[in-house]
Structure 1
């Protein structure tokens, strides 16, 4: 049997592949000889799961790949990140771009890195900044809306709250506002199921189904 541990990162709907009506996809999902396991990881946890053999395939890994061999990867897209604050926050009316000195005065909201072996990663935090750590992106979005902290969100997660005027986007100068999404897999896995998924994920039409970042 082919054991494919398919890991779907935080930016994607973990059920997208299973819900597809593609006949070829259904043949893989329904094949009794193929075992699929979908799970979510955060930040460096995506790479950690891959290099520690907890996963054979990663969809949506972010950041630089860890040092070492044993896996292959290619870029999927770049996701727009926005720095958000609630409307009543002091930074909501601050002059732009907002400087790090001003940002440091206020609590940030961050998602806990799910790495078990690799050093945990963080993103968009300043040294010495007070941080509220939450378990997932949905909790992070809600924490921002409730005024519990400031920080970065993928635009597709924040857009509805921005449109509803629950969050305000602020320019923060030279800080990068794009996150590269990657597909990565274990090179030593020669299984047919993994090969099929990698080939499918290279197809633009399949990538468009997965992508919710713009």
Structure 2
């Protein structure tokens, strides 16, 4: 089993990934500004308080791990201001991983990031740009940084997120011709992320999940 660092571990997809990674038998280092509040306490879980934008925190977090799962998010109130969290945090993370010789990175962006935006219809693209344009412009930069790195990366692009149960019945759409919008539960996104810890079939791929 692997030693896994999960960045953004205190809520949403990140917290669900912590749960599922532990259930799968991995040793988990949960990294978040409020990691100590995570209501889990198995011996294979290490809670590490830290800021994804603080270089020293991230450098400490990546030491001794086999893989990193990066799950970042911004609040609704931040969507209407310039967003730099995704690119700034990823720049710090890539440098820290390279220095620590940690190769495996599994990152979450979203459907509409990078070249997946071209598969949206005009009716989808207009409200997407109005509501999420600033955040996804920064996710575009984030993806380019990851893709240009020498890391063993996989980028997950989930469609519209729900709080539904883990079903395992989601689609992993690798080929651009198959990309489409849809819905997927955070628990199913976590299921995909945990599988990628040991599954190398999607190295240097950016599938859409729906």
Answer 1 or 2: higher relative contact order, Cα 8 Å, separation at least 6. 1
Q: Normalized per residue, which structure has more helix?
A: 2
TM over 0.5: no
Which structure has more strand as a fraction of its residues? 1
- Structure 2 length normalisation: TM-score? 0.30
Q: Normalised by the size of structure 1, how large is the TM-score?
A: 0.30
Q: Which has the greater radius of gyration?
A: 1
